[in-house]
Structure 1
Amino acid sequence: MKTVMVIGAGQMGAGIAQVCAQSGFNVYLNDMNEAALEKGMKNIEKLLARAVDKGRITDKEKVDTLTRLTPSSSFQDAKNCDLVIEAVVENMDVKTSVFKQLDEIAPAHTILASNTSSLPITEIASATSRPEQVIGMHFMNPVPVMKLVEIIRGLQTSNETYQAIEDMTHKLSKTPVEVNDFPGFVSNRILMPMINEAIYTLYEGVASVEDIDTVMKLGMNHPMGPLQLADFIGLDTCLYIMEVLHEGFGDSKYRPCPLLRKYVKAGWLGKKTGRGFYRYD
C-alpha cells in the first residue's frame, strides 16, 4: 500500500491526510469544494509548521510531508490509489453515493474505508461490488494527536482487508482496535449516552452546566466535562449519533434528550456556532 486518497478536506479528512503523508504514504486530499480544499491544505501546513516550532518534527520532515500531499477535486484520482478513506458528512445517502462512484473508478485491488463514527459499514459496503474490501476506519479528533483507530468489520469484510488496514494503522503510529459492525461501534456507544445523560441532568435541573462538568472532571478524572465536550463535537453531531443509536437498537435508553433537540433547532450547535451549553465569543 503506497498511495492513499482521503475524501473530504474538513478537520477530520485533513487530519487523516496529514498523518498518512507524515508516515510516508503518497496522499491525494480530495474535496469538490475548492475553498474547503484550499482551507484543508493550509490547515495541514499550519499544523506542520507548529510541530516544527515545537521541535516535534524537523523542517525537512515538514517539507517531505507536504511534497507527498496532492490536492484533488476529482474522484478520477482514485484510479491511482491502493486505499481510499472517506471522511465526508455523517449522512448515509451521501456516503453510499460516494462509495458507489469510487467503486466504479478505483482499481480492483483498492480498499474502500469509511471514517464514519456511527453508521453501519455493512450498509455502506452494499453500495459497491466489492463489499469484502470495504471497512471502517474511525479516527479520533484531533487526528494528529489521538492514537486510537476503531477498525470496523462489515458483514462481508475479508480477513485480508482487515489485516491490511491493521498493518497500515500501525504504520501511522496509531493503535488499532477491532470492532464489529454495531450502531455507534464502541466509542460512541459508550460516550454519547453519557453526554446525553449529562444533558438530561441539566434538563431536569439537578445541577448547572459548570457543576455537571466539574463533577466529571474532578470526580471522574475526565480531561473535559461532557457538556463542554458536546460543544466541541457539535450538538447536531451528538443528536445525529443518538438518533442512529436509538433507531439501531430500538431501546429507549438511547432516546435523545429534548433539551438537545431544542438547542439544535435553535442553531446552538456548540463551539462552531459560538453558542451551545457555553458561549464562545
Structure 2
Amino acid sequence: MSDTTPARVGVLGGGRMGGGIAHAFLLAGSDVTVVERDQDAADAARARIAHSIDRSIARGVDASAAELRSRLTVATDAAAFGLHGLVIEAVPEDLDLKLEALARVEAQLAADAVLASNTSSIPLAHLTETLERPERLLGLHFFNPVPASTLVEIVVGAETAAELPETARGWVRALGKTPITVRDSPGFASSRLGVAIALEAIRMVEDRVASAADIDLAMELGYKHPSGPLKTTDIVGLDVRLGIAEQLERDLGPRFAPPQLLRDMVAEGRIGRKAGRGFYEWNEET
C-alpha cells in the first residue's frame, strides 16, 4: 500500500490545532476544506493557515504559497465536507461539543468516508455514542505545534474497522510524520504519560522544590527530553492540560487530580504561549 493522503481532506475547526492539521495535509498534496462556526472564525482560520504556510516556505519548504492557498477552502457549513474521503474533528476537548460536532459531520459524509477525532484524552468509546457508523471512526491525535511535531498517535476503538489503522499509518507517513498505534483508553499513551509528568512538575513548583526553569533543565539534561514538562505545558496550553487532567481524573482516579496552582493560573489567564505568559514569558519570536 502506498503512503498517500486522501485527495480531499476536511478539518472541523481552524484554531491552532486544526489550522496546523490543515497545513500538514496541504503540504502533502491534499485539497483541504476547513469548516468554522461563523465567518469571523473562518476568516481568522484562513489567515492563520496562510501565515503558517508562509513561515514554512521561509524555513525552506519547497512549495509555492499561491499553489498551497489555492487548494484551501474555508467554509462555515459542514455540508462542504460532502465529497471528502477523510474529515478530522479538531474542536476543543469537551465531550458534549465533540459529540455534537462528530454527529453533524457524519451526516454529511459518504458511507465509506473516514471520520477522525483529534481528541487527546477522551476515549473513542465515548465519542461513538451519537454515530451511525462507529466503525468509520478512529483517533488521529496530532501534537502542537503540528508543523514541527513528528508524531501522530493513531487510536483504535473497539468498533474501528480492521483495515483503517494501516490506512491511517500510510496517511501519517505521507505527512512526513511517525505513527504510533494505541488501543482506545483514557489519555491513550502520549497524554497519559505527558500529563502525569507535567502535573508532578507543577506540584513541585507549587511546593517550591525548584524553579520552573530548573525543573525543566532536570528533565532536559538529565533525561534528554527536548523540552521540559513546564515549557511543554506552556506550548500545549495550561487550559488544555487542565481539561485533559480533569478528564483523566474522572476516568482513572485521583492520581490525575489537577494541582491548585494549575487551576489558579488558568483562572488568571496565564495559559501559556498563546497568551504570552504561563510558567514562562513568551513573545512572537519564542
Asked if Structure 1 and Structure 2 have the same fold, meaning a TM-score greater than 0.5 normalized by the shorter chain, the answer is yes
Partner of 2:16: 11
1:162 equivalent among 161, 165, 174? 165
Stretch moving more, 222-231 or 82-91: 222-231
- Asked if structure 2 preserves the Cα contact closer than 8 Å seen for 1:231 and 1:278, the reply is yes
1:224 equivalenced with 2:227 (yes/no): yes
2:260 counterpart of 1:258: yes
TM-score by length of 1: 0.93
Identify the residue that residue 198 of structure 1 maps to in structure 2.
Answer: 201
Q: 1:30 to 1:260 in 2, by over 3 A?
A: same
TM-score, normalised via structure 2 length: 0.91
**Superposed counterparts of 1:95-114, under 5 Å:** 95-114=98-117
Residues 152 and 180 of structure 2 are in contact (CA less than 8 Å); yes or no, is this contact kept in structure 1?
yes
Structure 1, gaps ≥5 residues long: none
Question: C-alpha distance in 2, partners of 1:224/1:173?
Answer: 21
Aligned equivalent of 1:65 = 68
CA RMSD between the two structures: 1.7
Q: 1:274 to 1:26 in 2, by over 3 A?
A: closer
Match of 2:49 among 27, 37, 44: 44
| Contact 1:3 1:82 survives alignment (8 Å) | yes
Measure, in 1, the Cα distance between the counterparts of 2:57 and 2:209: 46
Structure 2 residue aligned with 1:278? 280
For residues 167 and 256 of structure 2, what CA distance do their matches in structure 1 show? 34
Measure the CA separation in 2 of the matches of 1:276 and 1:254.
Answer: 20
How far is 1:189 from its partner?
0.7
Residue 3 of structure 2 corresponds to: none
Query: Structure 1 pair 275/23, CA: closer, same or farther in 2 (3 Å)?
Result: closer
Q: Which moved more, 1:65-74 or 1:224-233?
A: 224-233
Matches within 5 A, 1:82-121: 82-121=85-124
Question: Which structure carries more relative contact order (alpha carbon 8 Å, separation 6+)?
Answer: 2
Gaps of 5+ in 2: 1-5
- Check conservation: 1:6, 1:87, Cα contact below 8 A: yes
The DSSP-based 3-state class of the residue aligned with 2:164 is helix
Question: For residue 54 of structure 1, what is the aligned residue in structure 2?
Answer: 59
Percent identity of the aligned residues? 37
Specify the alignment match of 2:28 in structure 1: 23
- Quickly say closer, same or farther: Cα 1:111–1:197, change in 2 above 3 A: same
What is the Cα deviation at residue 15 of structure 1? 1.1
CA contact (8 A) 1:217 1:223 kept: yes
Larger helix share, 1 or 2: 1
In 1, distance between residues paired with 2:133 and 2:262?
Answer: 38
Residue 178 of structure 1, CA deviation = 0.8
SS at match of 2:163: helix
**1:77 Cα deviation after fit:** 1.0
Which residue in 2 is equivalent to 1:122?
A: 125
User: Tell me, what secondary structure is at the counterpart of 1:105?
Assistant: coil
- 1:147-204, Cα deviation, whole Å (9 max, x unpaired): 1110101110011222322222222222111111111111111111101001111111
Match of 2:187 in 1: 184
Contact 1:125-1:154 at 8 Å conserved across structures: no
**Structure 1 residue 80: deviation in Å?**
1.4
Matches of 2:129 and 2:158, distance apart in 1: 10
More displaced 10-residue stretch of structure 1: 259-268 or 14-23: 259-268
TM-aligned CA deviation for residue 235 of structure 1: 1.3
